[in-house]
Amino acid sequence: MSKRHAFVTGAGSGIGKAIALALAAEGHIVSLAGRRAGPLEAVRDEIRAAGGEAFVHEGFDVTDAAAVERGIAAAISSAGEIAVLVNCAGEAPSAPFEKTDFALWQRVLSINLTGVYIVMQAALPSVRRAGKGRIINVASTAGLTGYAYVSAYCASKHGVIGLTRALALELARTDVTVNAVCPGFTDTPLIDNALDTITEKTGRSREEARASLARSNPQGRLVSPAEVAHTVSWLASEGASAITGQAIAVAGGEIL
């Protein structure tokens, strides 16, 4: 299943970047989608330097259906039908529920949940045409349990898992699988933002804040983006053809 076209949203940094690099290393042609050109171009250059193929699709705002349609069409024109779709774009602001105003709620749901819906709707016809298609949504352990002070994020990720399971059943008699990967606290720029908030609110040092997040993982550490990417690579492989509708936790045993 090498030399197939993989389309990755949020591909400029963190987990999305790691996924793009892992899929490219396995021989996929990778479309890198995101809002800003600079980070995407850096990932493209890294893939090309390693002998892979990648294309940049900037201005890809998952909340803008027209922009998504244009980006998907451009990707198909550049690299052929999309065989592997990875939805990784997202954000995770924190606030107590009573201070989670409607604008914050709406923004998080729009990016994290509605964005997945918009991208899957636009890409699914191509994924079907590609044959042996794979749709992999990056959710979170926040989609499997609750965490304080991120109610909008938890709601959005629970929604992603529900959407994943529903579509998996609709497509179960086709050759398209639909799964979610649920990282625990992962060493990415999103964690850096969380550390900023913790240190501001509590006065703890960044090292103390990082250690407090790591303690939620029974292995006593943060997950690496590469570990999440390995799980995505497996789900994209032919050997995972019987795996669909699953929400796979990559969290060191935090969720059992």
Q: Where in the sequence numbering do the catalytic residues fall?
A: 153
Interatomic CA distance for residues 173 and 77, integer angstroms: 28
Contacts of range 64-71, beta carbons closer than 8 Å, 24 or more positions apart: 65/118, 65/122, 68/118, 68/119, 68/122, 69/122, 71/33
Terminal-to-terminal C-alpha distance of the chain: 31
Interatomic CA distance for residues 127 and 58, integer angstroms: 21
Q: What are phi and psi of 6, to 5 degrees?
A: -115, 135
